[in-house]
């Protein structure tokens, strides 16, 4: 808009349409320039910084602030309704009836329908969503308030608190690619299981800062507690614990914002196949960790939203229950858990402001 004359001309002539990826997909699948629909859903719209998450409409004040003309924005619909039909190919005529953001779909796929339920998706990063019901909870502890989903035109929106971890599985890849401590990420669980603990080693993988709940962009990664006895198993195990500790950081923030602790954590994503990681997560959070049979919860959630839509009616979400594969229970004492978490917090504090430290820093001896 600022730099491309063709876009500026199209906006002036009211020939420009804007949208997120889902908007572009729906537009093309329903005909594109030949009658395609220009829509998005509440979850994707909530991530543009242009939607009022209370009214679920584009916010004129925000649009003026960012200098975005409102006439180029798509119509905001629910996450579960018929948006249009496929216009070509072997599936021509089939309705498109589900549209959600990635993590919102995972929350739905984990069947976290009740207030107080939460899920964590483990991949390159780690993403937690906590269902706050029909109430929008404004976080005072570094979390994002978001629309979780809206299942139908006439149903109210469900809200959530979200916390994101920048580096989860990416830390394992870094150990493999940069430090060469393993040949394949498939070796992680086996190598880490050869030691019974981390040897008091703590790894904070703040490669590009820390996300929720710290929001410290000047933080940098540190590996502390090394001794002559430290071996690669300790470091790899510490990297797994780092994922778990960062998850606990977010769960602690959610507890503070909502006033009550989580009773169990539902998990999905590629890293959940690592049984040691799941056991460590349960131990370090002190709650059961529930792994479903279907770990690709995002795809399942999108399908559930589509099947639930009025006029489709394949699924009745009110009576659906997740099929559980495994549940991991804590096996360490509260004293041990709190001791290790305290040391993690000390390690995190040491990595703050590293990128802007100067010789004049009063903390430098």
The CATH code belonging to domain 101-365 is: 3.30.420.40
Q: What's the confidence (pLDDT) of residue 69?
A: 95
Burial of 15 (C-beta count, 10 Å sphere; 0-12/13-18/19+): exposed
Per-residue pLDDT tens digits for 180-200: 999 999 999 999 999 999 999
Q: Could you tell me how many helices (H) and strands (E) the chain has, helices first?
A: 11, 15
Q: How many other CB atoms sit within 10 Å of the CB of residue 358? A: 7
- pLDDT tens digits, residue range 9-43? 998 888 999 999 999 999 999 999 999 999 999 99
**pTM (2 d.p.):** 0.91
**pLDDT value, residue 316:** 82
Whether the Cβ atoms of residue 72 and residue 166 lie closer than 8 Å to each other:
no
Q: What pLDDT is stored for residue 324 in this prediction?
A: 78
3-state DSSP call for residue 9? helix
How deeply is 156 buried, as exposed, middle or buried, from its count of CB atoms within 10 A (0-12, 13-18, 19+)?
A: exposed
> Which residues lie across from 95 on neighbouring strands?
85
Q: Which part of the chain is CATH 3.30.420.40?
A: 101-365
**pLDDT at 365 (0 to 100):** 52
95-98 and 80-85 strand pairing: antiparallel
């Amino acid at each position: 808009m600022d730099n491309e004359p063709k876009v500026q001309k199209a906006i002036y002539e009211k020939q420009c349409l804007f949208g997120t990826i889902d908007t572009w997909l729906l537009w093309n699948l329903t005909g594109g320039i030949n009658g395609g629909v220009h829509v998005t859903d509440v979850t994707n719209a909530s991530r543009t910084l242009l939607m009022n998450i209370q009214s679920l409409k584009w916010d004129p004040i925000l649009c003026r602030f960012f200098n975005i003309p409102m006439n180029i924005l798509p119509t905001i619909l629910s996450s579960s309704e018929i948006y249009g039909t496929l216009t070509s190919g072997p599936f021509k005529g089939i309705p498109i009836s589900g549209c959600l953001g990635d993590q919102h779909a995972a929350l739905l796929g984990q069947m976290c329908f009740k207030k107080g339920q939460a899920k964590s998706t483990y991949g390159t990063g780690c993403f937690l969503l906590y269902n706050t019901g029909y109430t929008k909870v404004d976080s005072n502890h570094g979390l994002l308030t978001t629309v979780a989903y809206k299942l139908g035109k006439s149903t109210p929106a469900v809200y959530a608190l979200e916390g994101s971890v920048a580096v989860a599985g990416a830390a394992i890849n870094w150990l493999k690619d940069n430090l060469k401590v393993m040949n394949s990420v498939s070796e992680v669980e086996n190598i880490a299981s050869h030691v019974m603990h981390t040897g008091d080693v703590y790894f904070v993988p703040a490669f590009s800062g820390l996300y929720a709940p710290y929001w410290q962009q000047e933080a940098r990664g540190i590996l502390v507690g090394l001794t002559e006895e430290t071996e690669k198993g300790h470091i790899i195990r510490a990297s797994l614990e780092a994922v778990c500790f960062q998850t606990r950081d977010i769960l602690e923030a959610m507890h503070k914002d909502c006033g009550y602790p989580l009773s169990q954590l539902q998990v999905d994503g590629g890293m959940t196949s690592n049984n040691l990681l799941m056991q460590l997560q349960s131990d370090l959070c002190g709650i059961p960790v529930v792994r479903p049979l279907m770990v690709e919860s995002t795809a399942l959630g999108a399908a559930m939203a589509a099947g639930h839509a009025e006029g489709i009616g394949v699924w009745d979400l009110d009576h659906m229950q997740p099929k559980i594969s495994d549940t991991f229970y804590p096996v360490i004492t509260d004293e041990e858990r709190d001791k290790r978490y305290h040391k993690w917090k000390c390690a995190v504090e040491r990595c703050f402001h590293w990128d802007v430290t100067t010789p004049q820093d009063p903390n430098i001896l």
